[in-house]
A and B are shown apart, each in its own frame.
Chain A
Amino acid sequence: DGGITQSPKYLFRKEGQNVTLSCEQNLNHDAMYWYRQDPGQGLRLIYYSQIVNDFQKGDIAEGYSVSREKKESFPLTVTSAQKNPTAFYLCASSTGGNGYTFGSGTRLTVV
């Protein structure tokens, strides 16, 4: 079955540590996205990529980095510069003007 796989489901980060969230899709979608969701908040766009080896900053890119070396993969690194990283992170993909398909999410907590 086609879909988007995010891993891990839960992730704990220590102060000053970089962590990487994985996102893999087998839907053959061109575009991929990373969103952050805080309790009671909407989805805020971090980064997106429309083609391999190209990506653009979203509304809240500071403290995050991404890469898009393969069509299927769009990992997100939460760096130590992100001072408030505790949130629910959602990866999505799309093709054409269709809606997004979301992964199951990664819940990141700072310990």
Chain B
Amino acid sequence: QKEVEQNSGPLSVPEGAIASLNCTYSDRGSQSFFWYRQYSGKSPELIMSIYSNGDKEDGRFTAQLNKASQYVSLLIRDSQPSDSATYLCAVHSGYSTLTFGKGTMLLVSP
């Protein structure tokens, strides 16, 4: 059974701080990793994808992947109240569907 684990939170950070969101996965053969942002009552929106070990940066977002530790993280620099949302980690292991974690709620206070 493929599993993707995330701390449900909420993770509370002050405005301007770095938010660190973590995700572990069980399938060592996993190949592709994604982070989605979901605002309350809305559908998930893809914000980052990462396919190889290391860091990938896109604006204020950095995705980090460590396949040996089966760990993927998302860093949000200079957090803004508009970043307050639930962040879903998703993993593709070569099967036809993504496996999603249950998400971590992030709260950024002004």
Question: Do A90 and B43 form a contact, CB below 8 Å, given A42-B88, A50-B96?
Answer: yes
Please tell me if the beta carbons of B31 and A100 are within 8 angstroms of each other in the complex.
no
Q: Which A20-57 residues have a C-beta within 8 angstroms of B?
A: 31, 33, 41-43, 45, 48, 50, 56
> Among the listed stretches B12-20, B44-52, B54-62, B71-79, which one makes contact with chain A, having 4 or more residues with CB under 8 Å of it?
B44-52
Q: CB of A8 within 8 A of chain B?
A: no
- Does A100 lie within 8 Å of B43, measured CB to CB? no
Bound state CA distance, A100 and B99, in angstroms? 11
- Total A-B pairs, Cβ < 8 A: 45
> Taking chain B's interface residues, is the majority helix, strand, or loop, or is none over half, making it mixed?
strand
> Closest approach, in angstroms, between the C-beta of B43 and any C-beta of chain A?
4
A100 touches B98 (CB 8 A): yes
A81, chain B: closest CB distance, angstroms:
23
Chain B residue, CB-CB nearest to A105 = B43
Contacts of A74 in B (CB 8 A): none
Partner of B44, one of A50, A90, A97, A98: A90
Among residues of A, the one whose C-beta sits closest to the C-beta of B98 is A100
Q: What's the tally of chain B residues with a CB closer than 8 Å to chain A?
A: 20
Q: Given A90-B44, A101-B46, check contact A48 B90 (CB 8 Å).
A: no
**Of listed B36, B43, B98, residue having the most chain A CB within 10 A:** B43
Q: Give the A-binding residues of B (Cβ under 8 A).
A: 31-32, 34, 36, 42-46, 49, 88, 90, 92, 96-98, 100-103
Query: 19 A–B contact pairs at CB < 8 A?
Result: A33-B97, A41-B102, A42-B100, A42-B102, A43-B88, A48-B96, A50-B96, A56-B96, A90-B43, A90-B44, A97-B31, A97-B32, A97-B92, A98-B32, A99-B36, A99-B46, A100-B44, A103-B43, A104-B42
